[in-house]
Structure 1
């Protein structure tokens, strides 16, 4: 019996290595993103001040961020009117560009909390259903975070191909078992293109969701990546 289990384990290991080698060398995921990411987000809107923002406070820090995240393109834009500020951050990775687990380890749940923000789970939402003009969007991760008497309300999505990628872990910590667990969810085809989308505001997301500015932002994001694939029609 022990010999059988050993042989069985070797066969499984060789099969997994063969599948991994195939996906690495021959699997060609679909690429849907073309052109300049910055041109695909609203840049003018009556009554709103719209500004392009750096990804980090200094040039050296920006180079560090780009080196760590290794994205193909990224944009961070703020929209301000009166006392309302909306920030939109979108990063894009071409297929085979970045391991899924490394993108997931830089969500607000991890990075913001490690930077001193406190997450309030009782005021947050997990896999929240979203709609735009009656049409479904991918479910969002909604978070409320505070730091130095300032509160930010955040919605974010990590899109892997045509799926949402979510890893539940304790705030400020990354699940080290995630690479193994995701094999059972996504298989070995984890080299698809990825988008990370984050909307943050000084007002609760549900308060600004239906405003004209936010709807315009969401339309662009829906076209870009937030629209789930249509379910196949039932025969």
Structure 2
């Protein structure tokens, strides 16, 4: 047993040194976010009241957690129209700023539940289509607290691709090795965590004028599914 542990420790040390050497000579990829999130997401929509909240006011965060997550850019913007509201929460990390596993733990399944919410429903990697716009597959859940519930869609993008949540409960060391297997040695890609939540269903939101502009802002930050990116409604099949 002791010999096995020594072998594992030696392998991890060699891997760590190898990664350090790799990172020293290979620069991280360039970030794709060219504008502040606050300028990309609509600041004004006809018929909607819009308010920016501090990240620490979101169910994901507290002042301490927000500081620890060390975002490069972040936005928590709430849209209100009649009795409907839409919360858009976006966190962004430049290449190499945060580990995939740590940023990936920043989800309603963890943060909302720890803040007293109950997870009522959960679906993994479901299609998300709005009119002719097809976004990357979304994580979906229904979460309730104090007699009200929210429908929540969220995405964790790593280098423009959805991060897998299939390996739930994986130990950190094994998780890191699995990340190497999936992404190779380049573990320094940019990341987005995007959460779209509402007290209305998606079918109801699709009927509301102006909601399409919120969705379009998600396209602008790179959430559109790659196979459909840049296609116009005329040449995109629903």
TM-score range, shorter chain: 0.7 to 0.9
Please name the residue that 2:115 is paired with.
115
- Structure 1: tracts of 5 or more residues without a match: 1-5
> 3-state SS of the aligned residue for 2:222?
helix
- Residue aligning to 2:124: 126
The reply on whether 1:213 has 2:213 as its aligned counterpart is: no
Residue of structure 2 equivalent to 1:88:
88
Q: Classify 1:13/1:210 alpha carbon distance in 2 versus 1 (closer, same or farther; 3 Å).
A: farther
Counterpart Cα distance in 1 of 2:37 and 2:224: 17
| Deviation for aligned residue 1:52 | 0.9
Mapped partners of 1:210, 1:102: distance in 2: 36
| C-alpha distance in structure 1 between counterparts of 2:214 and 2:24, whole Å | 35
Alignment partner of 1:141 is 2:139: yes
Contact 2:109 2:119 (C-alpha < 8 Å) held by counterparts: yes
Query: C-alpha displacement at 1:31, in angstroms?
Result: 1.0
Partner of 1:185: 182
Partner of 1:99: 99
- Which residue is equivalent to 2:152? 154
| 1:3 alignment counterpart | none
8 Å CA contact retained: 1:195, 1:225: no
What is the total number of aligned residue pairs between the two structures?
A: 219
Residues in 1 aligned to 2:25 and 2:117: alpha-carbon distance in whole angstroms: 41
RMSD value, Cα: 2.8
TM-score by length of 1: 0.82
Gaps of 5+ in 2: 1-5, 229-238
C-alpha separation between the residues in 1 aligned to 2:97 and 2:78? 27
- CA–CA distance in 2 between the matches of 1:51 and 1:143? 24
